[in-house]
Structure 1
Amino acid sequence: MSQPQAAVGASVPRVDARLRVTGRTKFAGDNSPDGVVHAVIVDSSVGRGRVTGVDARAALAQTGVLKVISHLNAPKLPPRTGWWPPPGALRPFQDDRVRFFGHPVAVVVATTLEVAQHAASLVEVSYDAEPVSTDMGTADSAGDPETYARGDADGALGAAAVKLDLAYRMARNHHNPMEPAGTVARWDGDKLTIWEKTNWVAGAMMTMASEFGMPQDKIRVIAPVVGGGFGSAGRTWVHTVIAALAAREVKRPVKLLLTRRQTYFGVGFRPAYEYGLRLGSDRRGRLSASVHDVRAETSSYETHSEGVLEPGRMLYSTPNVRQEYGHVPLDVNTPTFMRGPGYASGAFPVESAMDELAHELGLDPIELRLRNEPAADESTGLPFSTRRLRDCYRVGAREFGWHRRNPKPRSTRDGDWLIGMGMAAGVYDTERSAAQASVRLDADGTALLQSATSDMGPGTATSMTQVAADALGLTMRQVTFRLGDSLMPPAPVHAASQTMASVGSAVQDGCDKLRKQAITLAVKDEGSPLHGVDPADVVVRGGRLHVKDNPARGETYQRLLARNNRTHLETLGSYAGAPESGKFSFYAYAATFAEVAVDARLGLVRVRRMVGVYDAARIISPRLADSQAIGAMIGGIGQALLEHTVTDHRDGRIVNANLADYLVPTHADIPKDLKAFFIEGEDYEADPIGVKGLGEIVIVGVAPAIANAVFNATGRRIRELPITPEALL
């Protein structure tokens, strides 16, 4: 059955745009249930050791202070159950250990935020401090590394005509979304409600159930909007447990909002990497071998892993590959996923090395990549569902004006500025997970859809409304999509670029079912103009069911439901997720082109323009897709040139834990000329609506494209991110 497509593919504004720009959107910390009080965490001032004393007398003497909770008086939490949170995740006030600088050692609860803040400053904590290890350069890897191998990489490398032996470093990055993390927790008897900054309400529900030893159906998590996350809100952190614990202790709702400073050691970060890469090729640039030796920081109490090895495993045809990924436990809080997790980090060394090899061989960087395009995924042996990377190169080179690039480094100037062009490829896995969405069509001809998914910025409600509107044959104004409540049908974490494929497929399924319900009702109804028509010949447009080739013969949803005394039709859409054993290899692809100007005397780097071209299959909402891509280019500028967490290794203190000293791109750093292009196509092997993930792929490859442009401009190859002026002097 072919439904007319009017909303999908249209460039429409966000359905919640007016709410957001007028300030009426309600974020987690904006909720204030009756009787709410405030909690402020007391953070450790040492990076490792034991708490030997907590003197809360001065704090408790303050008018309005209700309680000070530490390991000395906190209730013991029951043993965890279930698979989430992951093993080793931090639990509050269960022992006297300090595991990192900023580790929560107490919490003050008071009637006002100001009193809680003041009282927290009065809590005196004494420690038995121990030597701290926060420098990955002086620490050892622990445990068995993750390994991968095919062929004989060392033998092939030894026999290669051209060899490169390179070492790259990437600094730790912090997410810094506009909305800091926060929680409002309320107990009603044995039931817990939390208003939470999270993009996984099911994960928060599972975490609370596990931490407090209670059934999940006794917990409600509410998070309809998220003020940015970039990965920081993908899991439930210890402050949420503290808020719920404090609310239970004082028997009042508790609001706990992290300060900007506290987010630097409270909600994870993109880990730092050391990446050794050896490449071997013939004189024509055909890769024969690659060896990857990777070290990544993690916490001493948890192991964080991500797909940093994937680009080097499957992006280019390489018969012989060996990889090792070692974890370096440090006295830090646990890292987590950050936009383009793993792949954005792994692309920097791989794509920089390809640029270095192209320069060594005197080849155009695009030509080198084309010579190493694989026919299939060599890491799995599976064919690609789609791979339009060649098209990305072609379109990007044309739109960017790649032919104007002078391959000789340091050969193009504009006054005091050295001008360079660079490019890089990108890849990201196409994730899909099980999801559900309820669909209800009311007698007035409007539809309501609900799913416990989230929106941390990409416009989830808008894109889902577009899919639903076309599938139901309604206008977008007649469809409402609600999200972010654990009472709604379940959905996966709003991360890994899987929401559109997963929840969108559930929305499509539910709307298809409901539309077919209505059509079946009409063709069986003797009073309907559609009585006796083959259901396959009926379509719905503008809320009106009619014969496909005879629009005059039909009726509206409203008349159909009214005549049959129906107040509504309702169904549940579902999507089972990716099959366990697939027939194809699923990825999205990108080609990013950048032009930079480097001050020849000061080493300052300015990005002049960028073009990104993406193979993300079917684009549901072009305006939202363009916004995602432009935002990712800006984030990639930060990763390449600015963002760097600085740690004082004497005690583990984060020196630049604020937005004044932790540099992110501002208007002065962002060029006006940022353009995104999307290769037309669908991937119905991936999911029923033919999409691939978009939110992650758009940042993968941005940093190496900028780094390669810096080399073309200056002749200096910088193998460490961020690229600072002093590295170019």
Structure 2
Amino acid sequence: MENSTKSIGKGIDRIDGILKITGKATYATDYPAKNMAYAVLFKSTIAAGQITKIDSTEAEKYPGVIKVITHENAPRLNTKGGLRGGALLQGPEIIFHGQHIGIVVAETFEQATAAAHLIKVEYNQKAEKTNFEKLAETPTMPKGKELADQVRGAGKSAMKTAEVTVEELYETPIEHHHPMEPHATMAMWEGDKLTLYNGSQIINGAQTAAAATLNMKPEQVRIISPFIGGGFGSKGGQWANLVLTAVAAKMVNRPVKLALTRQQMFNSVGLRQRNMQKLSIGATKEGKLVALAHEIISHTAINDEYIEPCGDCTKIMYDVPNSLITYRVVPMNIILPTYTRGPGKSTGSFALESAMDELAYKLKMDPIELRIKNEPPKDPSNGKPWSSRTTVKCLQEGAKAFGWDKRKAEPGTNKIGDDLIGYGVACGTYPARQRDSSAIIKLTLKNKVVHAKVEIAASDLGTGTNTILAQTAADGLGLPVNQITVKLGDSDLPPAAGSVGSVGASSFANAVNDACIKITDELLAKSGKQFFVRPTAAQLMISESFTDFQTRSDSKAPAEAEKYSAHSFNANFAEVRVNSITGMVKVTRFLAVTGAGKILNPKTARSQIIGGNVWGIGMALTEESVIDPRYGNFATRSFADYHVPTNLDIGNLDAMFINEEDLIPNKMGVKGIGEVGIVGVAAAVANAVFNATGKRVRSLPITPDKLL
């Protein structure tokens, strides 16, 4: 049956939706195995020092306990194997509160949990570095060369030539990822071969990191991860729990499951680091930018370095001849920070876009007009031409759809009852890239019906990868979607990029599309015929009676792509109501307008954008992980005190996409939307709060005590 209408661009339902709502989708701990054992981690209760004694006598006697594993009996691992954060039970050294110091393996999860509480640990405690404010007074240069000071023109010194200036400090707190599915692994050994069922955003990355850490070859390790209950970056790099599950399974010679609890998620799998950002903007009285400086202080781990690139938006968003971007860092006794949705761009855009709003207010200028006035004709950071840039269109179309003309420029003047009404706007961006990926397509013909199977070691975080790849294959092969099967989430499949950095959709879809073109070409060659109109692969299978045929394609980004600066862009519009008596903020309306190239499926794309918007609203109003500086542990360690927005916290959300064809970054013109959905959101809310109240909150989250 030929596919008469195109599938790409249609908002079809997720092809795996029924599996998920019926509970048939298999996540990391859903796989059955004979003789399963259960592992529970136990953790350090100090932030710095050494373990002097571990007494596990009582735990080992507890009913059902099979093994207690600590640094005293764990095998030697390769600590430079690529896992993040250390904590591999390789010695007595403690570098953060909550570091893994052992595993209890038992017949049941409950027995392992109870036994873990019986273990007595003695420490030689050292002075911990956990007070960010104090340490930030004497930060150091980062080790990473890409974070060296970036100066353009006269740098910050050009500020003295400006007629109007804004110089302020903006702060964003530690945040945690908190996917619905906490990190979990099941490990099974068969001889020297290891299978790990695990939520992995980068399937092949998890495979190579696990193999290297365990001193094995990648082909000895198989990662199976067909469904992932969210990750937001925390499942991008892999953490110690992945390999420690394999260690436990080897030591007890049985399959083992290890699932983190929600509380353990706070100190096991990274976090979004706290950032202090000084923004200095100088402009003429007419609103033309003359200088821009973005000076950032962040923290990292004692033993390793990760720093969010908070200056990334500042580098490219506005046309300014003189700029400075600097990074400074303070090592602390806290788990290594890591990639968190929109890393650097979400936090950096809060500072940049808040400062732009402050400048607009000082200039008595509309914030949209100020942004358009400083639109750069090419990428200011490297001089490359844009592959395309939709910022102005996003602002203009969004203003019309949102009703920006109803905004009152003077703060605090729009009131209904006890509520102050405010409008805010902020822009964002995220790079558009394609990464190397491979795909196999297998075609079969039975009873004159063609079916296709797509195989690729991609991952689906819940974002709709299965669906967009089925749509891509349907159009590429001339088949309806219901005759396509997609197999992903397995390292035995052709290698692929990860679901990280908004490279997933462009990398996976282009690999599948290339495989469709290739298989059609090969079927044409095999037929030995010439056709006036190019037939589809499905038509060729039927006309030539081929019962089965397959091919593999290995795809790369176009060579020309490097000559351009390619990005997705957005404009975010927020309406807030602030109760003048309680200080409570409610986002009543939010609109995100995004230019992200070809939208493969508007339904799943809208879901992605709205998800990013919700997190951005949470970033603005509720989310904050608080460290107790006396001990280095998190005072917030459950959903009772770490507030993720729920339905009642969120008003009317809407998402619009700009029609955009940009075939420079990749052949299909797919740009990626997973990251950009959060960029600029917190600033739009903060700017709306200022418009409502006249109070500028520069330290997130914006809680009632900061407004009253």
TM-score by length of 2: 0.96
8 Å contact kept, 2:561–2:666: no
Kindly indicate whether residue 147 of structure 2 is the aligned counterpart of residue 136 of structure 1: no
- Partner SS state of residue 590, structure 2: strand
**Which of 456, 475, 485 lines up with 2:490 in the alignment?**
485
Kindly indicate whether residue 513 of structure 2 is the aligned counterpart of residue 511 of structure 1: no
The change in CA–CA distance for 1:648 and 1:187 in structure 2 (over 3 A counts) is same
**Partner amino acid, structure 1, of 2:689:** V
- Partner SS state of residue 149, structure 2: strand
**Partner amino acid, structure 2, of 1:32:** P
The change in CA–CA distance for 1:127 and 1:507 in structure 2 (over 3 A counts) is same
**Which of 168, 187, 190 lines up with 1:188 in the alignment?**
190
- Partner SS state of residue 677, structure 2: coil
The change in CA–CA distance for 1:632 and 1:581 in structure 2 (over 3 A counts) is closer
Tell me the distance in 2 between the aligned counterparts of 1:682 and 1:665.
35
Equivalent residue number for residue 68 of structure 1: 68
CA displacement at 1:30 relative to structure 2: 1.3
Matches within 5 A, 1:40-55: 40-55=40-55
Tell me the distance in 1 between the aligned counterparts of 2:112 and 2:276.
42
Kindly indicate whether residue 103 of structure 2 is the aligned counterpart of residue 107 of structure 1: yes
Equivalent residue number for residue 268 of structure 1: 270
- Partner SS state of residue 73, structure 2: coil
Matches within 5 A, 1:419-438: 419-438=421-440
CA displacement at 1:517 relative to structure 2: 2.4
The Cα RMSD (Å) is 1.5
8 Å contact kept, 1:19–1:25: yes
CA displacement at 1:132 relative to structure 2: 1.5
Kindly indicate whether residue 691 of structure 2 is the aligned counterpart of residue 712 of structure 1: yes
CA displacement at 1:190 relative to structure 2: 0.8
**Partner amino acid, structure 2, of 1:321:** S
Tell me the distance in 2 between the aligned counterparts of 1:597 and 1:532.
67
8 Å contact kept, 2:313–2:429: yes
8 Å contact kept, 1:656–1:662: yes
Tell me the distance in 1 between the aligned counterparts of 2:79 and 2:638.
36
Equivalent residue number for residue 92 of structure 1: 88
Q: Deviations over 1:473-498 (max 9, x none)?
A: 00000111110000000011211010
Matches within 5 A, 1:440-589: 440-444=442-446, 445-522=450-527, 524=528, 531-534=529-532, 537-540=533-536, 543-544=538-539, 557-561=541-545, 566-577=546-557, 579=559, 582-589=562-569
Q: Deviations over 1:445-500 (max 9, x none)?
A: 10000111101121000001111100000000011111000000001121101011
The change in CA–CA distance for 1:237 and 1:578 in structure 2 (over 3 A counts) is farther
Matches within 5 A, 1:47-446: 47-78=47-78, 80=80, 84-85=82-83, 89-139=85-135, 140-144=138-142, 146-444=148-446, 445-446=450-451
Q: Deviations over 1:521-562 (max 9, x none)?
A: 34x2xxxxxx5424xx22339x435xxxxxxxxxxx33523x
**Partner amino acid, structure 1, of 2:109:** L
Tell me the distance in 1 between the aligned counterparts of 2:99 and 2:679.
32
Equivalent residue number for residue 694 of structure 1: 673
8 Å contact kept, 1:146–1:326: no
Kindly indicate whether residue 598 of structure 2 is the aligned counterpart of residue 618 of structure 1: yes
Q: Which moved more, 1:304-313 or 1:649-658?
A: 304-313
**Partner amino acid, structure 2, of 1:585:** S
- Partner SS state of residue 125, structure 1: strand
Kindly indicate whether residue 640 of structure 2 is the aligned counterpart of residue 635 of structure 1: no
Tell me the distance in 2 between the aligned counterparts of 1:372 and 1:477.
48
- Partner SS state of residue 582, structure 1: helix
- Partner SS state of residue 29, structure 2: helix
- Partner SS state of residue 420, structure 2: strand
The change in CA–CA distance for 1:232 and 1:113 in structure 2 (over 3 A counts) is same
* Residue segments in structure 1 that go unaligned for 5+ positions in a row: 525-530, 546-556
The change in CA–CA distance for 1:596 and 1:267 in structure 2 (over 3 A counts) is same
Tell me the distance in 2 between the aligned counterparts of 1:64 and 1:85.
31
* Residue segments in structure 2 that go unaligned for 5+ positions in a row: none
Count, aligned residues: 697
Tell me the distance in 1 between the aligned counterparts of 2:354 and 2:235.
31
TM-score by length of 1: 0.94
Tell me the distance in 1 between the aligned counterparts of 2:203 and 2:92.
30
Tell me the distance in 2 between the aligned counterparts of 1:351 and 1:143.
26
8 Å contact kept, 2:422–2:690: yes
Tell me the distance in 2 between the aligned counterparts of 1:510 and 1:692.
20
CA displacement at 1:4 relative to structure 2: 7.0
CA displacement at 1:579 relative to structure 2: 4.4
CA displacement at 1:62 relative to structure 2: 1.3
Tell me the distance in 1 between the aligned counterparts of 2:4 and 2:270.
45
Tell me the distance in 1 between the aligned counterparts of 2:386 and 2:5.
28
8 Å contact kept, 2:299–2:307: no
8 Å contact kept, 2:557–2:665: no
**Partner amino acid, structure 2, of 1:424:** A
Tell me the distance in 2 between the aligned counterparts of 1:350 and 1:366.
14
